[in-house]
A and B are shown apart, each in its own frame.
Chain A
């Protein structure tokens, strides 16, 4: 069956870097783009952008341009979200989602000094 499995929770300090993974299985990875969605504690869902898994071209929402980077390891059917120069406000759960139907379980990131 189709699954997206994300990496485990992260605890980081401000200024550090984190890389979250999302491993897909059960379908042809390059057939569907991968979206990334942020959910801050107690808040709603915010679309961060997506990466074309066929071409590798990323698209970022305006609020996520600069410190955020999407990448792929196509041979491993895995997508990555990297956040550089972490800030307290990056504390959130991050979801990967393929086609709206399939979502990862979420990765909780806590940024605290």
Chain B
């Protein structure tokens, strides 16, 4: 099974700052990676798929990058609605495992 190591586990930032979350896969996942945002008590929302393609309606301040085993989600100019938890998930093989998550909190 491919394991996803996500970091940091938590992050404290202010509105307007830029943050980056990373996921490292235990094997090459060939850009088959998605990023989700989850607000407390809600279902996850797809942000990015295929490592760098923004889902419909996702603001351009979000961007995904990476290849091979290393991937990143960057959020430019944080907005109040961006605070919550973020998860990566690979889709290269079964099981499509999730990273452990990053909790992004307001400083």
Contact = CB atoms under 8 A, between A and B. Distances in A.
- Do chains A and B interact in one complex? yes
Interface of A: 44-47, 49, 59, 61-62, 95, 97, 100-101, 103-106
Contacts of A101: 46, 49, 55
Interface string B55-76: 1000000000000000000000
Nearest to B99: A44
B101 A44 contact: yes
Interface in B36-60: 36, 38, 42-46, 49, 55
Contacts of B49: 100-101
Nearest to B6: A44
B16 interface: no
Interface SS of chain B: loop
A23 to B, nearest CB: 15
Interface band, chain B: 20 to 34
Interface string B15-39: 0000000000000000000101010
Contacts of B100: 44
Given A45-B36, A95-B43, 10 more contacts: A44-B99, A45-B87, A47-B96, A47-B98, A61-B95, A100-B34, A100-B49, A100-B89, A101-B49, A106-B43
B107 to A, nearest CB: 22
